[in-house]
């Protein structure tokens, strides 16, 4: 989804478009290996020229399938993302300015006459997806000894929730103390 800046009328441009999950994963450098699976994406936005800058405000509705980082269960994570961008012509910026970002307003730049809205949408989705997703805040995870799903079943092992690299550390400490 690209916009040619010379096609933006004075009163601005309202846009609605949808993208598939396949499109999203194709647009990422890591493809399907990003750790989550994006389903349908619906975008609405308002694009306006403000002098040489281009302002883009909008919202993205997206369904994402995530894997719980404790129990590895897959679950749906519907997200609504609001975004605002100010894009400045690249020629007008000094290198240092390119890194500027503010709380809920992203500053970026464009080169030539084309703005790639798809790239902005993909970037926003990547930013909003939780890095360590939980199916539930109280997810009990997996037993670090036998691997049983503690949300569903019980085992006789110590049920302390220590997972990942800390599991090994925990065993080490126990041995030392015992």
Q: Is 124 exposed, middle or buried (0-12, 13-18, 19+ CB in 10 A)?
A: buried
d(CA 138, CA 74): 16
| Residue 51: CA count within 13 A, CB half-sphere | 4
Smallest distance from Zn ion to CB 162, Å = 13
Selected range binding Zn ion among 7-15, 64-72, 85-93, 100-108, rule: CB under 5 A? 64-72
SS3 state of residue 172: helix
Does 145 bind Zn ion (CB under 5 A)? Our answer is yes
Does 64 bind Zn ion (CB under 5 A)? Our answer is no
124 vs 144, which CB is nearer to Zn ion?
144
Smallest distance from Zn ion to CB 176, Å = 21
Residue keyed to tokens 């002098």? 51
Smallest distance from Zn ion to CB 56, Å = 36
Does 155 bind Zn ion (CB under 5 A)? Our answer is yes
Contact predicate 5/110, CB 8 Å: yes
d(CA 165, CA 169): 7
Q: DSSP letters along 35-79, please?
A: SSEEEEEEEEEEEEEETTEEEEEEEEEEEEEEE-TTT--EEEEEE
Does 157 bind Zn ion (CB under 5 A)? Our answer is yes
By CB under 5 A, name the one of 3, 45, 66, 68 that touches Zn ion.
68
Radius of gyration of the chain (CA): 22
By CB under 5 A, name the one of 98, 146, 168, 169 that touches Zn ion.
146
SS3 state of residue 108: strand
Does 144 bind Zn ion (CB under 5 A)? Our answer is no
Does 139 bind Zn ion (CB under 5 A)? Our answer is yes
> Which residues between 108 and 137 bind Zn ion (CB under 5 A)?
135
Does 154 bind Zn ion (CB under 5 A)? Our answer is no
Smallest distance from Zn ion to CB 71, Å = 3
Does 70 bind Zn ion (CB under 5 A)? Our answer is yes
Interface ranges with Zn ion (CB under 5 A) = 68, 70-71, 135, 139, 143, 145-146, 148, 155, 157
């Amino acid at each position: 989804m690209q916009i040619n800046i010379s096609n933006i009328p004075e009163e601005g441009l309202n846009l609605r478009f949808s993208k598939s999950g396949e499109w999203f994963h194709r647009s990422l450098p890591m493809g399907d290996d990003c750790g989550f699976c994006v389903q349908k994406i619906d975008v609405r936005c308002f694009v306006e020229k403000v002098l040489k800058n281009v302002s883009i405000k909008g919202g993205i509705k997206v369904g994402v399938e995530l894997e719980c980082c404790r129990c590895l269960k897959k679950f749906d994570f519907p997200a609504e993302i609001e975004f605002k961008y100010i894009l400045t012509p690249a020629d007008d910026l000094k290198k240092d300015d390119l890194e500027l970002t503010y709380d809920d307003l992203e500053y970026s730049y464009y080169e030539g006459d084309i703005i790639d809205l798809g790239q902005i949408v993909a970037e926003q989705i990547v930013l909003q997806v939780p890095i360590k997703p939980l199916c539930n805040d109280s997810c009990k995870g997996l037993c670090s000894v036998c691997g049983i799903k503690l949300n569903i079943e019980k085992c006789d092992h110590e049920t302390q929730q220590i997972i990942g690299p800390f599991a090994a550390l925990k065993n080490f400490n126990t041995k030392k103390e015992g």
